[in-house]
Homo-oligomer: A and B are copies of this chain.
Amino acid sequence: MTHDATILTHLRRVADTGVSGAALASILGVSRAAVWARIEELRRLGYEIEASPHRGYVLRAVPDVLHADDLLARLGKIRIIGRDLRVFHETTSTNDVIERLAIDGVAEGILVFAETQTAGRGRLGRHWISPPGLGLWFSVLLRPKLSPMATTQLTVASAVAVARAIESQTQLKPQIKWPNDIILNGRKVCGILTELSAEMDRIRYVTLGIGLDVNQTRDDLPPELLAIATSLRIESGRTHPRANLALALIHELDEVYHRVNSGGFARISDDWASRCNTLGERIRVRSGDRTIRGTAEALDDEGALLLRTEHGRLERILGGDVTIEK
């Protein structure tokens, strides 16, 4: 743990009681002047730290920033996802960063957050808008022992994890639109982009990119997206501390990843089905130049959507743009 993380951990632990500079200096094995310098740096990041001669340092308020060391210190026990974690002020796309780390041989589980992305990616090469400080834009490196065909399981499982985290942190009830859009009141609040690097029969790595709109007001959204996009703040009427959401997301993702790896996709798939707004509906799917119409019947054990066409044939859909027909 870095000095910053250790200081924040102790400040949180003692709450209003406060901790003296001398005590922190002794814990860290540094001088009181060095402690003071770190406190100043944390204040510069927006942490409100009060200093009084009697109680020492007291943490009064934390800013809505993502601080890698602080997140790691608060994360608690996880298996794989979140073992390492980096926060960038600005990147092209966090998926790009993960891809470079993957090529360099970095172990799975590392997360990269960016406060803003200059070239955030959505599915099918679309642009993803990532305004600074208002959402969670991050990617995870995975190296699962699955066949490339089973990668859809990870997309489905991630959607379940995100829905669970949003529900526990906001009490909102997100739905899932196949395969990976998280929906609140009919509008998209989160997108998941699963990018795969593989040989024919072996996954090299998977980059799981997640973009969650958190604290945007309606004024923060581009007008042309108002009909189809939303944020947690718009839906709940209040702002949400992004660090808490980030921690909940990491725990839920780590949990479903463990389940998928240990052959437990069936249970995740049940949870997915209960949250899904696509199953049972008449839909059309556009995939490349092709459009298929039918009823979304079920998910198969690799996460593919089974679509019953008008002619009664069952089609297996691996990807594409789904529209629910009224």
Contact = CB atoms under 8 A, between A and B. Distances in A.
A96 interface: yes
15 contacts: A99-B197, A100-B103, A123-B199, A124-B202, A147-B288, A148-B148, A194-B199, A195-B198, A195-B199, A196-B200, A199-B319, A200-B318, A200-B319, A201-B288, A202-B319
A99 B152 CA distance: 23
A320 interface: yes
Contacts of A96: 103
Oligomeric state, in number of copies?
A: 2
A197 B197 contact: yes
10 closest cross-chain pairs (CB), A and B: A201-B319, A200-B319, A197-B197, A196-B198, A200-B318, A201-B287, A201-B318, A201-B320, A99-B103, A96-B103
B193 A196 contact: no
A76 interface: no
Interface in A146-204: 147-149, 151-152, 155, 179, 193-202, 204
A125 interface: yes
Q: Which of A149, A199, A202, A319 has the most CB of B within 10 A?
A: A199
Interface of A: 96, 99-100, 103, 123-125, 147-149, 151-152, 155, 179, 193-202, 204, 287-288, 318-320
A307 to B, nearest CB: 14
A125 B320 contact: no
A199 B197 CA distance: 9
For the complex, would chain A's binding face be called helix, strand, loop or mixed by DSSP majority?
Answer: mixed
Contacts of A193: 199
Contacts of A125: 202
Nearest to A146: B288
A76 B274 CA distance: 60
Nearest to A198: B196
B151 A200 contact: yes
Q: Which of A151, A152, A179, A202 has the most CB of B within 10 A?
A: A202
A128 to B, nearest CB: 13
A103 B197 CA distance: 12
A95 to B, nearest CB: 9
Contacts of A195: 197-199, 204
